[in-house]
């Protein structure tokens, strides 16, 4: 049993190290990897967040467009998958590794986001803890506003009909204050973006409305409110089961309860961060000490208000 756990940890660590080592080379070559989920639904990996490509009867919907320079590689890959035109982009949230490719698509392509995400994209302010790579000119301003959202929704919106239907949901603050859940009901699949990026500490981007107090509840509301989904396309990791989102909600609620206790005990952010370990029920989750420390700071700030 112990041997199995050690092996799992080694494999997880090895995969992550290999992925990080590959990143610069993959960026130069801009290799888009395709994972086919259904006959008309694909996940494109590389160059930032996971991109979903949904081929409808009349055109192609792209969910998230990766880091700068990866819009064209996405378009090239879509051409290999279908001869239908790309009609629509949906961005799950504002982050540069999910929206920057927008500016490379034809100006006629519709762009749909949650309304707070539009406001965030108009600013493109630095991401908490990622300031070094996210401080600089707004890529949309640089491109004359191309790629900015044309349509927004508040809590819920449906695009298209029948087998082409897409349901968009917003359940509250989490990773940012504009995290959309993008559901393909005919396929029983959803793209959750970075509110469920991976099994590990989330990036709580307080600079863009993210909340450590709300994220667990928001995920619970999504789990309760979205029906008929079996598989989740995560922001940056592999496809997971719908039940994994319930577990991830609990993980975040447990973190909040723990951080609240640490704060009440008078622990500094640093002292609390030094104590934190991934709780036993979440075996296999990848620890991230820097992110954990940042998240404790975010929760403390919210609880002080």
Contacts 24+ apart (CB under 8 A), 109-113: 110/150, 110/151, 111/147, 111/148, 111/149, 111/150, 111/151, 112/88, 112/149, 112/150, 112/151, 112/152, 112/153, 112/157, 112/159, 112/168, 113/149, 113/152, 113/178, 113/180
Contact at 8 Å (CB) between 180 and 193? Answer: yes
Least separation in angstroms between CB 58 and Zn ion: 30
Least separation in angstroms between CB 158 and Zn ion: 24
Of 91 and 152, CB closest to Zn ion: 91
Of 180 and 299, CB closest to Zn ion: 180
Of 44 and 60, CB closest to Zn ion: 44
Of 189 and 197, CB closest to Zn ion: 197
Lay out the sheet containing 156-159: strands in order across. Answer: 156-159, 166-169, 181-184, 189-193, 231-234, 240-241
Closest among 128, 146, 173 to 71, alpha carbons compared: 146
Q: How many residues bind Zn ion (CB under 5 A)?
A: 2
Q: How many helices (H) and strands (E) does the chain have?
A: 10, 13
Contact at 8 Å (CB) between 167 and 183? Answer: yes
- Region from 88-96, 103-111, 114-122, 290-298 binding Zn ion, contact rule CB under 5 A: 88-96
Closest among 50, 85, 86, 84 to 67, alpha carbons compared: 50
Instruction: For residue 278, give the 3-state DSSP assignment.
Output: coil
- Region from 68-76, 109-117, 192-200, 291-299 binding Zn ion, contact rule CB under 5 A: 192-200
Least separation in angstroms between CB 197 and Zn ion: 7
- 95, 173, 191, 198: which one binds Zn ion (CB under 5 A): 95
Of 95 and 118, CB closest to Zn ion: 95
| Token output for 290 | 């820097």
Q: Which residue has the tokens 């959750």?
A: 192
Contact at 8 Å (CB) between 202 and 209? Answer: no
Q: What is the DSSP letter of 201?
A: -
Least separation in angstroms between CB 257 and Zn ion: 24
69 Cβ neighbours under 8 A, 6+ residues apart: 30, 47, 100, 101, 104
Least separation in angstroms between CB 240 and Zn ion: 17
**Positive or negative torsion for Cα 238, 239, 244, 248:** positive
* Site membership for Zn ion, residue 199 (CB under 5 A): no
- Region from 20-28, 79-87, 94-102, 136-144 binding Zn ion, contact rule CB under 5 A: 94-102
155 Cβ neighbours under 8 A, 6+ residues apart: 169, 170, 171
Of 95 and 221, CB closest to Zn ion: 95
* Site membership for Zn ion, residue 104 (CB under 5 A): no
Of 95 and 293, CB closest to Zn ion: 95
Of 194 and 217, CB closest to Zn ion: 194
Binding mask 107-146 for Zn ion (x = CB under 5 A): ----------------------------------------
* Site membership for Zn ion, residue 194 (CB under 5 A): yes
Q: Which of residues 241-280 bind Zn ion (CB under 5 A)?
A: none
Binding interface with Zn ion (CB under 5 A): 95, 194
């Amino acid at each position: 049993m112990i041997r199995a756990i050690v092996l799992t940890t080694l494999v997880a660590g090895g995969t992550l190290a290999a992925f990080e080592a590959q990143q610069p080379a993959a960026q130069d070559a801009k290799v888009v990897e395709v994972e086919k989920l259904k006959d008309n639904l694909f996940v494109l990996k590389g160059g930032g967040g996971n991109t979903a490509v949904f081929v409808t009867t009349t055109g192609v919907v792209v969910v998230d467009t990766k880091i700068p320079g990866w819009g064209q590689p996405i378009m090239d890959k879509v051409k290999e998958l279908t001869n239908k035109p790309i009609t629509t982009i949906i961005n799950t949230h504002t982050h540069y590794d999910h929206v920057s490719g927008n500016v490379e698509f034809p100006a006629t392509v519709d762009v749909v986001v949650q309304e707070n995400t539009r406001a965030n994209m108009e600013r493109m302010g630095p991401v908490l803890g990622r300031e070094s790579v996210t401080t600089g000119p707004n890529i949309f301003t640089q491109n004359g506003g191309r790629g900015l959202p044309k349509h927004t929704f508040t809590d819920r919106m449906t695009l298209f009909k029948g087998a082409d239907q897409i349901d968009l949901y917003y359940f509250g603050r989490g990773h940012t204050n504009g995290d959309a859940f993008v559901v393909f009901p005919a396929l029983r699949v959803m793209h959750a973006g970075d509110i469920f990026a991976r099994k590990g500490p989330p990036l709580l981007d307080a600079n863009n409305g993210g909340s450590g107090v709300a994220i667990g509840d928001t995920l619970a509301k999504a789990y309760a409110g979205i029906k008929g989904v079996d598989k989740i396309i995560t922001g940056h990791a592999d496809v997971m089961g719908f039940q994994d989102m319930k577990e991830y909600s609990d993980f975040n609620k447990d973190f909040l309860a723990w951080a609240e206790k640490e704060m009440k005990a008078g622990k500094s952010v640093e002292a609390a961060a030094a104590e934190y370990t991934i709780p036993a029920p979440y075996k296999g989750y990848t620890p991230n000490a820097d992110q954990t420390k940042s998240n404790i700071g975010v929760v403390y700030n919210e609880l002080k208000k």
